[in-house]
Amino acid sequence: MDKTFYIETFGCQMNAHDSEKVIGTLLHQGYAQVDTPEAAHYVFYNTCSIRDKAEQKVFNRLQQFKRDAGKGKVFAVIGCVAQQEGEKIFEKAPHVSLVAGSASYTKLPQMLVQLEAGSRRVTGLSLDTGEAFDTPFTRRDNPHRAYLTIIEGCDKSCAYCVVPFTRGPERSRTSSSVMAEAQGLAGAGYTEIQLLGQNVNSYRDPSPAGWNFATLLDRVGQIPGIRRVRFTTSHPRDFGKEIIDAIDSNPVLCDHVHLPVQSGSTRVLQSMQRLYTRDEYMRRIEWIKNARRKIAITTDIIAGFPGETGKDFEATLALLDEVQYDSLFAFKYSPRPNTAALAMEDQVPEEEKTRRIVTLNERQRAIQIRRNSQLIGEVQQVHVEGRNRALGQWIGRTSQNRTLNFVHDGDADAALAGAYLDVRVTRAGPNSLVGESVANARPVSVM
Ligand code: 5AD
Ligand code: SF4
């Protein structure tokens, strides 16, 4: 029996981490991962449906294998498109045999056994699981920085968003299982942990300990050996000041908050069902800016939500000027199945969405050039991620989540990845910094 598999992952960090869990589970069951779909018997696509463009990617991939190239292979569509489209995928791509959403991953081994036993089509589409997908077999990609899921699903109902339909209701893991996993990571040599959830701020420990997110964050940040803790994503409505207090009192918690605003117009926020006004959002920005350390702020924005007028859009541009974000992701609104915004009137024409997104990105680029150039001359600690051989530079990441590429004497030293080094910033671009390792400093530590 051919037990080789290939997996390609689309979408967010939750999906990337889900794939790490799926890979670990399959390896544990005796399957063997290969690097190309051509070499594999099982071909997995872990899919994203946040915007139409993301969704189309999987169908393009499947199209390539529709005829001879796909003969004898078993195709599995998992993740958000699987959950959203369900059995319709079999109609669009008849060579697919398995369709499963993330809430069914615990049953993957059984589903594969069914396929091996001759079932032509197997589905895992139930969303009524009480638990988060928890496995001891996660196969992590990066040896220094680890993703760790604390909460799955989402109980909000933003009018544009497909996630509540693809990932189901919120399920928090117990604080003891999160802590045990984090301690295990520290023991295995990981120094950086990124806590994951669609809305980490609504984390609520289901065990009697009853920790909220700020407590969990603080406790993970106290684990010996852990030098950096990040978290994503936050929802402004649930973002409490105690998170800033936790960051202020523990330098292990990174100087960065990603706080998606989506729009600078209270009217649009209301129609998006975001559950906060512009002023309420700005209050959170003030908390962050009043912290003792400089905390980088990044955000997501949707351009061209139905009914967004020129004046609403101006309000978003003014918000960029007011907040001075360190980075932002801007997206054109994309109508999604099942969502409330699908039926809204006043859809914004495509060219206008494009114009708005270009304007947003230009405005933000100028802000980033200015902010990044203010860092020239400063010394920042980086966690070394790897090496760019072509440029002869090391790639590092600052606590504020900026990429800082730098030169370091003794360049051939491959063991630098994973080290923490002090680097002086010498140049700044809109999206990254360049620098040099301070006085040929030795790595502060190499794990
Ligand atoms: N269209 C465009 N962007 C969207 N996002 C979520 N749903 C949509 C949509 N239908 C964006 C939001 C979110 C980010 C992950 O993706 O900005 O914060
Ligand atoms: Fe895409 Fe959202 Fe699913 Fe992540 S949770 S893969 S962003 S649809």
Average predicted confidence (pLDDT) for the chain: 94
Which pLDDT belongs to residue 439?
59
Three-state DSSP state, 148: strand
440 Cα: distance to centroid of ligand 2 (angstroms): 42
Does residue 419 contact residue 443 with C-beta atoms inside 8 Å?
A: yes
Q: Which atom of ligand 2 is nearest to the CA of 47?
A: 6
- The whole-number pLDDT of residue 71 equals 87
Ligand 1 centroid to residue 240 C-alpha, Å: 23
- The tens digit of pLDDT for each residue in 53-109 reads 999 999 999 999 988 778 889 999 999 999 999 999 999 999 999 999 999 998 999
| 90 to 58, 76, 117, 321: CA distances (angstroms) | 13, 10, 19, 48
Instruction: Tell me which residue of 273, 44, 335, 12 sits closest to 167, measured CA to CA.
Output: 12
Query: H-helix or E-strand containing 404?
Result: strand 403-407
Q: Which is higher by pLDDT, 414 or 107? A: 107
State whether the beta carbon of 299 lies less than 6 angstroms from ligand 1.
Answer: no
SS3 47: strand
Is residue 11 in contact with ligand 2, taking CB distance under 6 Å? Answer: yes
- Assigned token pair, 447: 């794990």
- For residue 80, which atom of ligand 2 is closest to its CA? 3
How close is the Cα of 146 to the center of ligand 1, in Å? 25
Q: How confident is the model at residue 391 (pLDDT cuts 50, 70, 90)?
A: confident
- Tell me: the pLDDT tens digits for 131-155? 777 788 899 989 999 999 999 999 9
Nearest-angstrom CA–CA distance, 316 and 281: 12
Of ligand 2's atoms, which has the minimum distance to the CA of residue 14? 4
The pLDDT of residue 259 is 98
Q: How far is the CA of 154 from the centre of ligand 2 (A)?
A: 11
Could you give the strand order of the β-sheet that contains 228-232, starting from the edge strand earlier in sequence? 145-149, 192-196, 228-232
Q: Is the pLDDT reported for residue 412 higher than 70?
A: no
Write down the pLDDT at residue 1: 82
What distance in angstroms lies between residue 298's CA and the mean position of ligand 1's atoms?
Answer: 15
pLDDT: which is higher, 68 or 371: 371
Residue 318 has pLDDT above 50, yes or no: yes
CA distance 167 to 78: 12
Cβ neighbours of residue 31 under 8 Å, at least 6 residues apart?
3, 4, 5, 42, 112
> How close is the Cα of 8 to the center of ligand 2, in Å?
14
pTM above 0.85, yes or no: yes
Nearest CA to ligand 1 atom 13: 300
Task: Name the closest-CA residue to atom 7, ligand 1.
Answer: 161
Q: How confident is the model at residue 447 (pLDDT cuts 50, 70, 90)?
A: very low
Q: Which residues of 69-102 are buried (b: 16+ CB within 10 A; e: fewer)?
A: ebeebbbbbbbbbbbbbeeebbeebeebbbbbbb
> Which of 430, 320, 319, 289 has the alpha carbon at shortest distance from 371?
430
CA of 167 to the centre of ligand 1 (A): 15
pLDDT at 271: 98
- Residue 306: alpha-carbon gap to chain centroid: 26
Starting from the CA of residue 47, give the closest ligand.
2
Residue 137 and residue 22: Cα distance in Å, rounded?
9
Cβ of 423 below 6 Å from ligand 2: no
> How confident is the model over 239-282, as pLDDT tens digits?
999 999 999 999 999 999 999 999 999 999 999 999 999 999 99
333 C-beta closer than 6 A to ligand 1:
yes
Closest ligand to C-alpha of residue 83 is 2
Spatial distance between the Cα atoms of 236 and 281, rounded to a whole number of angstroms? 6
How far, in Å, from the CA of 49 to the mean position of ligand 1?
10
Q: In the beta sheet, which residues pair with residue 382?
A: 398, 421
Hey, which of 9, 10, 12, 13 would you mutate to test ligand 2's pocket, going by the most ligand atoms within 8 Å of its Cβ?
12
Whether 14 is in the pocket of ligand 2, judged by its Cβ within 6 Å, is yes
**What was the pLDDT predicted at 172?**
96
pLDDT score of 411 more than 90:
no
Identify the nearest ligand to the CA of 12 by its number. 2
Helix-, strand-, coil-residue percentages of the chain, each rounded to 5: 35, 25, 40
Tell whether ligand 1 has an atom less than 6 A from the beta carbon of residue 51.
Answer: yes
Does 161 sit in the ligand 2 pocket, CB within 6 Å? no
Say whether 120 sits in a helix, a strand or coil.
coil
Distance 50 CA to ligand 1 centre (A): 6
pLDDT at 261: 98
